[in-house]
Each structure stands twice: as C-alpha cells, then as structure tokens.
Structure 1
Amino acid sequence: MAVMKILHWPDPVLATMAGRIDPGADLRALVADMFDTMYAAPGRGLAGPQVGVLKRLFVMDCTWKEGEKTPRACLNPQITWRSDELVTREEGCLSIPGVLAEIARPAEVVMRWHDENWVEHEEKLSGFEATCAQHELDHLDGRVYLDYLSDGQRTDLLAAYEAAQ
C-alpha cells in the first residue's frame, strides 16, 4: 500500500469537522494506507483529517509497539457512554510532533463503529485504548488535544513547538 503525508498543526484541515461516511462505501484501500502511514510514523492512532481526508474514520492499534498487533479501523465512530472517572495521561500527536501534554479524559468509554467491511461493533474501552479512541474522535470533530489546555499551557507548548519547526 502507500504511506500518506500527515498534516501538521496548524493546518486548517485539522480544525474542520469531518463528514459521515455513506454506509457501504468501499474504503478498504484508504484504511490500508492509513494503517501503513500510522505504523511508519510510528503512531498508535491516525484520523482521516490528519491525512487530508475529511471523513469520519480513524485507525488505531494500541498494542503493536509492545509486539502484538491489534489493528482497529473505525468508520463513523461514536461514543455512547463515558465514565465519570477521569484519568490523566500524557498525549502526543502525529500532527503535532514533539509536543506532549497531560490531558484528563474519561477512564472508560463505550464506542460504536463500523469496520472497513461495514460490520458493526460496540465495545467498552478502558486504559490507553479509551484515551486513544477519544483523541482520534476529537480529530473527527476538528479538535486537537491542545484545545483542552489552559491558555498559559497552550502558549508555552506552542512556543516550544514553533521553535522546533
């Protein structure tokens, strides 16, 4: 397959809401390219807008860096439940390389989605998988993790990011 170009912040596409995918659309080649891109980056998640595709899809594999691949393609994903318990994790992003920030998110979520063959799934995610899914879903809504930071934190991180570019 092919490795795609990853857009970097502040590209305006990253702040744009992605559109729903028509049921039955054949996106298998795009999904395969997105997995190739994510693994080559190397990342654990990649959303359509990050490669210039304004469609509601992302790919993720939270375990491959530890040796076991668990690839998951998520088309038209939606979170149907969030736990009240929050967990803070250090997050990074392939579109904002080199910038890490502590972000608080629900510790568990229930997510519903279709895979690249249009099989419907619903699963309770916890741990890093819950964080990753929420991070990638944010991309589909035109948000990045920097949007969760205070103005001061964001200014400091962006100054470091811009200096490194």
Structure 2
Amino acid sequence: MIQAAKHEKVLVRVRINGKLYAEEVEPRRLLSDFLREDCGLTGTHVGCEHGVCGACTVRVNGAAVRSCLMFAVQAADAEITTVEGLSLDGSRHPLQDALSECHGLQCGFCTPGILMSAAEFLEEHQDPTTEQIQEMLSGHLCRCTGYKGIVEAIAKVAKEQKDR
C-alpha cells in the first residue's frame, strides 16, 4: 500500500476587510476555500472553479482576481477585500443599491463577483461607455438577468460619481 505524503501546513497572514487573519493551511489550499472555510467569509461564491464564471472575484491589493485560481499562500501579506468588506461603515455600497434599483439582481449568485469587479472598474473608468461596461462584465456569468439591469446599475453609479 502506498501512503500519501502529508502536506505540511504553511502559516498565511493576510488582512481581509481590514481585519488580520492568520491561519495554517496546506500549500494547495485555494484562496476561495481559505476565505469561505477558514475565515468564514461566505460572500465569495464558488461556481465553476476554473476562473470562468467570475463568482469568486475578490480584490487582492486592489486588483480584482479570481480567488478560485489563486492559492492562499500566494495572498500572504496581502490586503484582500471581499464583498463583505465592500462597505465597512455599515451602509451599502452605491453599487449594491444601484443593482437593486435597476433590477440587476435575481438569484444573486453572480452578484458578489460582479460587485468586486465593478468597484475596481469604476475606480479606473470615471465615465465608462456602455461598451466598456459590457466588456468588463464579459468575464462574469449571470444566468438570470440578461445583464441589462447590471449594465444600467454600473452606468448609474458612474454618472453619480462623475456628478459629485
């Protein structure tokens, strides 16, 4: 009988939504699993586990990444924002309100990943075109809404930010 070698665990320290987490994990532990199972942050959804659907998108050091394609050890010493940390003051992020107002929500499975990508996108594009918003959304699979309400919500927030 061949016995599988045990994987030694590695200490991963990371700041998530402003809070420091330190957990020992196997080197092959995916960031998405680390967030959900080790840190209890279940807002990050896991869909395809191949980086295609976008549901697991979080921000690592400000950049939107697919957490199902990244190992937790790769995020060591990073600043991570999950959907739970999108708005830390207790109020909803403008994107969350706009998705609701523009009927961009149905089952909600894709919503956390879209919110995280859209937040990064709006930091980089103050006056995006509909085509730019659609291009950004092309990396997210939404099976319910047809994207119309989602595009309208992101455009609404962009306009509100520009008008401020």
TM-score strictly above 0.5: no
| Bigger Cα Rg | 2
TM-score using structure 2 length: 0.29
| TM-score calculated relative to the size of structure 1 | 0.28
Q: Which structure dedicates a bigger proportion of its chain to strand?
A: 1
